[in-house]
Structure formats: C-alpha cells, structure tokens
Structure 1
Amino acid sequence: MILNKILRVKQDSILNLLSNRLVRKFFVSFKIYLYFRLGMYKTVSEIAYKGNNFYTNFAKAISFSAIGNREMANYYIANLLDKYKNRKKKQKEKLSRMLNPYYPELSLSILENVGVKDTRYFSLLLALDKEIKIKTQEIRIPEDWLFYLNLYNTQSSIPLPVKQLEYLNGFLNDYQLEKMQLINQKRELNVFNLTCVCRKIYSENLPLVSILVTTFNSQESIEYCLKSLLLQTYSNIEVIVIDDNSTDNTLEIIIDFMREDKRIKLISLPYNIGTFSAKNIGLQYVKGEFVTCQDSDDYAHPRKIEEQIIPLLEDNNIICTVSDWIRLDNKGNAYSRFIYPIMRHNPASLMFRKEIVLNNIGYWDYVRIGADSEFYERLKLFFGSKSVKKIRKPLTFGAHRENSLMTSKDTGYDSNGLSNIRLEYWEAWRKWHIHCCKNKQLLKISGGLSHRPFSVPKEIEVDLNLVKKSIKELKLYY
C-alpha cells in the first residue's frame, strides 16, 4: 500500500519523503526507487540491495544501464524477466521504453518478447539499422509522421526535400500548427532551411516578453534563430542576445539585424563564461514582465511565444509554461536519444514571471551544462507542480549536431549512457535540493556571486571572478 502511493507521488513530494528519517533508515527499497524517480542513477547503483521487490529491481536495472554498466544491468534485467514472468505487459513495455537510450538492443528484445510491433518497435529497428518491412504507411498518432520521415530518408538514395517537408507538416498539422516552408527547395530539410509566416495577433497592449539568446561562434545559425523570433505572432517582444566572446562573425550578423529591428539588443561579453552565466547577466537588462530563452541554433515556430504566454495571461496562479520540441539533423532526420517518442520536453522553453521567480528562487546556476534542468526543478519545488503549465506541442525545432554540449561524449550522452560529468552534476543539485528540504532551507541562487551553494565537477564550474569581470567590462549595443 505504501509503495503504491510512492509510485504515484509527484517529484516535488519525493524530496519531502527522502527528507523523512524513517524512510531513509528503514525503507531501503522505497528509498532506492525514490532516488530512481529523481534520475539519481549513480546513487541507486551504489545502494546495496538483495531483495525481490519488482520496482526496486526495475530501478536498479535502468540505473546500471544509464551509467553504462551493462553487466550489472543484465543481472537485474534477467532477474526481472525470470522472476516476474507474469507481470503485466504494460510494466515490461515501460522497462523497454526506459532502456531505449541506454540499451536499445535489449529494449527491442523485450518488445519482441511481449509481442509489440507498433511504431516503438519499428523505431528501434530503424535506430539499430535492422531491416524493416512495412507494406502500407498507417498514421495512427502524430509521432508516426516522424518515424515515416526517418524511414523515408533511410530507404531513399536521394531524399526529396519537398517529400521530407510533407512528413514534417503532417506532424505539425496534427497539433493544429501552421505548416512550414523550405527556404530553398533543393536543400535538405533542416533547421536552417525552414520558414513560416503567420498573421500577427494584436499584442502592443499586452505584456512585454523578453527572450534571452546566448551565442558563441554561432555565425552559421544565429540568422535563422533571430528570424524565427522576429516572425512571432506575439510581437511585443524584446530579444536580448548575450554573446559569450565569439571569435567568428556572430557579432556582425547580430548588429546587422539590430539595424533592421529595434527589438533586438546585444550584450557583448569580454570572456567566455558559459551559456547560463551569460543568461544571468542578460537577466539584469530585461524589461519584460515575462522571460524565456532560445538557443542560438534553434528555430521557433511562429506560434511559440503566443502559445506559451496565453496560459500566463489567463491564470495568475500559473508561474511558468514549458513546451516541446523536435530535433533535426542536417539530412532531415528527426532525432531523439530516447529513440521513441521523438517529440520531447524542451529544457530551454521555460517562460516565467520575472519578478516573483527572481525574488524567490533566484538565477540559473553558474555552470556550463545542465543548469536549465536544475532551475526548472527548483522552480517546481518552490511554487509547486500545479504552477507549471505544459504545452504539449512541438513549438521549437532544434539542430542536432555532433560534439555540441548535449551530444559530446564528455558533457552529454553517448551509446554507453550518460556522461559522468553530466550525471555528477545532476546528482549534486538533486542532493542540494534534498538537503534544503530536509533542513527547511531556502532553495535560491542569488546573483551576488559570493560562493557556490554546492560542489560541482571542476570541468563545468565557472570562475565567478571571471563573471564579475565580464559584468564590469561588457559592451551594450542598443
């Protein structure tokens, strides 16, 4: 009975449970599953357990897969499949789904074992370069459009960009979003070959939205990013670009845009301090009642700002909104490290009420990766899950590139699981959240730059003195 309640509890309540002394001391199996729910895979792998609880063994299996220890993952998965043969099909399907990004071969095997042969199954076949035989294309859910896009790209010697676009627009149409067009119909479908113009809504008398865009050597992408923001149907915006000491032509491109549209402002930093420290500096200059962000290699659907601000205007209890995205590579393939589904939560999509958020939880953490997830979870902890409105629509197209912060072997993800650095940081901030809940301390990162609230891996730590120097020596272009 207790475990069933824990399985359904929201993440902001999980921290309170982990702060409970009785749970920490006596309910080891519950504790393991709670840590698993928080994505603390390394912690889960380090806690000794020899019991037979299904959910605890489930947590162990996924956690060892996530940290790249397939030997131990195989041990726990074999136990699960052997001892719990009569478990519901749904639970085995969930095991398969969570193994997707870390152990796709085994995920596929589990689906075959339970007789699942839908888009999930075929997506795994495609990801593993296995033969696929489908007689007719059948679109049952929006996600099917993206699968058939990838299948078309794989099976065509020279994919036609117009045909690629048909699949993408079929997907968007299922979410009642306007179709995209190709800038150049002879070039492959990708983030830098998309455009879409929609009729603007009257927003001059509505609140100003400040959009933070950080750049670093972004000359290949910043043009498309800015164009997508200037084409927003909600036009009462300011775009604050914070350049993180680029050495290419990024600054010149931004300045050219500023001459054409006064809504763009530029902050040029003298040192490279990372995207989240740059955003924190940008926050000092925003004038909007609401703040959101966009990465310099992303393209926003024209409805993005409109779709995300409407819930905030209609309900004062909503503190922030988030939306989804899909990622495209340069050849027009839709990508997700989870393989299926491809449409995922966009960590950079957070739009929040500036004053109440900054006054209560403060700023992004001063690190080079992963601070968007920490900030989002901190916000949910303080204001509660009900203060967040999730817009389940693909409002952003992200560029999937090799050796980006997200795909780099050192700071992102690879075929063996999560990078140690990213996982260490995730666990560090989760432990800080738990500590603050346990001791009733305020979860806030101030802009004072006096000290770090918790330790992080040296590889991603930002020199706070360098941030201070950047604040003093930055250049403003208005």
Structure 2
Amino acid sequence: MNKLSILIAHYNNGKYFLECYNSIINQTYKNWEVIIVDDASTDNSIKIIEKIINKDDRFKLYKNSSNKGCGFTKKECMNYATGEICAYLDPDDALFPIALEISVKQYLSDNELVATHSKMMMCDENLRLQKTFSTAKKIVNDRYFFNCPIQLVHFFTFKREVYFKTKGIDPNLKNAVDQDLYLKILEFGKVSFINEDLYKYRLHSTGISQQSSKQSAKESFAKVIHEAMKRRRLKKIHYKDVPDQYTNAEEIYKLVNYQTKPLFRIINKLKLIFR
C-alpha cells in the first residue's frame, strides 16, 4: 500500500492548525506521514503545533534557521518526505476525509500516472463551506498547457520519484510556487482529474492570495510560465515568438491569451471527449 507524504510549509498559522490536523487524522486512508517545515515563525505557532501533534511519530516538525520564504520551505519539505506519493497542504486549510484514499486509488489503476488533481471548496475564515472553485476541471496535458487560465488546483498529489526527475521547486519563489510544481511534474506523464471536492481552501485577510502582493504574484506566475516555455524548447506560441529572456508579465500573458478564447476551449473539450 502506497505511503503518502503530506507536506506542510508553515509560517505564523498556528491558530488554524488544529482544523488542518483533525482533517489529516480523520482520513479514511491510514498510510501517511506529515512533514512540517516551519519558516522561522514569529508568533507562538511552534508551541501550538507541538502541543497538538504531541508525540505522534507520524508527524515530523522541522525548522528553518531563518525566514527563507515559501519556495525554499516547500522545497525543503520534499527533502524529508519518504512516501511514494506526495501532496502539499497549507496549514490554514484542510482536507475532506476521503481525499487521500481517492487520490491513491488513481495510481493503482494506471502506472503511467504522475499526478492527480481535484476540485476544491472555498471556505470562509472559520472554514465554513461556501462554494466549489468553479474553474477546476480536467485538462489537456500537452506542452502548451500552462494552467493559465487556472484549471488545475488543490488537491494535487504527485509521485515522489517524478519530482526528483525535475529541478524541483524554485527556492527563490515567493509566489506561484504551486504553479511551478504543477508545470514541472506534468512534463513527465499523465495526470488524473478527480471530479470531487477534496480540499478546503480558507479565505482570510492574512492569506497570501488576499494581500496587496497580487502584482508580485502575477509577475512570479509569468516567470514560471516563461521558464516552462524555455524548458519545453518552445520557439513560438500561437504563431508568436517566445522571448529568449523574461522582460515583463504582460508579454508572457499575451502569448497564452488565446487559451482563454471560446474556440480554444471547444477544441480542448473535443480532445478530451475523443481521447
């Protein structure tokens, strides 16, 4: 039975961790470990987490010597993971009870699978369910897929052995870290879409997505997309030249803007139907 490593990059989210913890220990699938790497939290989070996990040896807590940022911390999580399958879970979010079981089953039915993704439920600050994130869907995974517009979200699981075939998460990234991971993993094989809500995503005022750093996130995502284009040795995108060097976000988004058009979406739907 495959072991699944749940990876938690933590910073100052101790007050939300109990719900995250409870969602893990209540999983229907039991062969898991949890790797937590704290990025030099400045509040009392470490004490809270240590009290919650107590002496449960399924939970491993590590600490960065200083604040390194999201990319570094998520990359560090992978250095401690031992499971055949890995998945990131933010400490202020939670999983539905069947999330691990239904994800692992996908790999048992298809050896060529390198990753899975699902729908996710948007929640308020108290983790009360609100609505399903509407754009998550099955994707056409080819060398022109850049997840722009967003279609692939949490809950994302992937094979550990495949991760180490890539260069890994860019440790210098502060934003778009998950997007960097998705695009790198998907270059190595098939991905399965689970048409169910497996992940509870908490919206709150201190979350990265709600901060005034949206422009920075947009820039980071554009850089991730450009790096994927270069990695895939693409010279042109939709009859337009791919720049050798990254200069600005708008230049990159203009290259992939055709993927938001109705005709492109119709063609993709037909591809998925007739595959």
Residue 370 of structure 1 deviates from its aligned partner by: 0.6
Larger-gyration structure (1/2): 1
Q: Cα deviation per residue 1:414-466 (whole Å; 9 max; x = unaligned)?
A: xxxxx3x22222222222222233379xxxxxxxxxxxxx8799xxxxxxxxx
SS of the residue aligned with 2:23? Answer: helix
Write the distance in 1 (CA, Å) between the matches of 2:247 and 2:81: 28
- Matched with 2:177 is 371
* Matched pairs, number: 225
Counterpart among 334, 337, 350 of residue 130 in structure 2? 334
Deviation at 1:260, TM superposition (A): 4.6
Q: Which moved more, 1:251-260 or 1:343-352?
A: 343-352
Higher relative contact order (CA 8 A, sep 6+): 2
Give 2:163's aligned residue.
357
Letter of the 1:370 counterpart: A
- The aligned residue for residue 23 of structure 2 is 228
**Paired position in structure 2 for 1:393:** 196
Evaluate the alpha carbon distance shift between residue 436 and residue 268 of structure 1 in structure 2; reply closer, same or farther with a 3 A threshold. Answer: closer
Match of 1:291 in 2: 86
Secondary structure at the residue paired with 2:12? Answer: coil
State the identity %.
24
CA distance in 1 between counterparts of 2:200 and 2:151 reads 12
**Structure with the higher fraction of residues in helix conformation:** 1
- One-letter amino acid of the counterpart of residue 26, structure 2: L
Which residue of structure 1 lines up, in the alignment, with residue 238 of structure 2?
none
Which aligned runs of 4 or more in structure 1 are off by greater than 4 angstroms? 340-346, 454-457
Aligned residue in 2 for 1:194: none
* Residue of 226, 249, 254 corresponding to 2:44: 249
Name the structure 2 match of 1:383: 188
Map of 1:264 onto structure 2? 59
- Equivalent AA in structure 2 for residue 309 of structure 1: V
**Cα pair 2:162 2:185 within 8 Å, conserved:** no
Preserved contact between residue 106 and residue 116 of structure 2 (Cα < 8 Å)? yes
Structure 2 counterpart of 1:273, one-letter code? K
Conserved 8 A contact 1:295-1:348: no
Which residue in the other structure is 1:470 paired with? none
For the aligned residue pairs, the C-alpha RMSD in angstroms reads 2.6
Query: Which has the larger strand fraction?
Result: 2
Contact 1:214 1:296 in 2 (8 A): yes
Unaligned runs of 5+ in 1: 1-205, 412-418, 441-453, 458-478
The residue identity in structure 1 corresponding to 2:130 is A
Give the letter for the 1:334 counterpart.
Q
Q: Which amino acid is 1:234 matched to?
A: Y
Letter aligned with residue 246 of structure 1: S
TM-score by structure 2 length? Answer: 0.74
Rate the CA distance shift 1:408–1:255 in 2: closer, same or farther, 3 A: same
User: How far apart are the structure 2 equivalents of 1:251 and 1:456?
Assistant: 40
SS at match of 1:319: strand
Q: C-alpha separation between the residues in 2 aligned to 1:351 and 1:333?
A: 22
Name the SS for the 1:389 alignment partner: strand
